[in-house]
């Protein structure tokens, strides 16, 4: 096998592995938030907002964890993937 081709294949595989891991970070974070919400649904006060105080309505950690994962996935990852492809 041509060693130049082997190097190219190796580089491409490493690049796609990076892109794959990168695209998983946001969904994994979101999935952790969803799992938390399922395990402790009383922390998601949006499901039953009556009688809840301001802070319980404002700060719902499972929802915030999902939001962080989503924002990262949709705002940071796409441009980063483009740049990884460009720099390869």
Partner 1 sequence: MPRAEFVHWLFASGLLALGLFLLAEAIVGTDVWRARTWRAYLWPSTLFAMGLFMWPVMVFFTNSTIHMVAHGSWAEVMMLAGAVELGLVTGKLQSGLWRLAMFASFVVTGVAFLAHEQNPWFFQRSAFLHHLLGWTFLCASLFPLARVVRPRSAMVASGFALTFIAVAVMLYCDRDVSPVFGHLSPLAGAPHR
Q: 7 or 61, CB closer to partner 1?
A: 61
Using the Cα atoms of residue 73, residue 76, residue 78 and residue 80 in order, give the sign of their dihedral.
negative
Q: What is the DSSP letter of 48?
A: S
Alpha helices in the chain (DSSP H): 3-39, 54-58, 61-71, 77-87
Which residues in 24-43 contact partner 1 (CB under 8 A)? 25-26, 29, 36, 42-43
Which residues are near partner 1 by CB under 8 A?
18, 21-22, 25-26, 29, 36, 42-43, 55, 58-59, 61, 64-65, 68-69, 71-72, 76-77, 79-80, 83-84, 86-87
């Amino acid at each position: 096998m041509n060693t130049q081709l082997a190097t190219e294949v190796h580089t491409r595989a490493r690049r796609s592995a990076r892109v794959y891991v990168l695209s998983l970070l946001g969904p994994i974070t979101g999935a952790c938030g969803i799992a938390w919400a399922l395990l402790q649904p009383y922390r998601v006060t949006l499901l039953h907002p009556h009688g809840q105080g301001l802070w319980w309505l404002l700060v719902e950690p499972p929802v915030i964890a999902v939001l962080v994962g989503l924002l990262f996935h949709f705002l940071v990852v796409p441009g980063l993937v483009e740049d990884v492809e460009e720099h390869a």
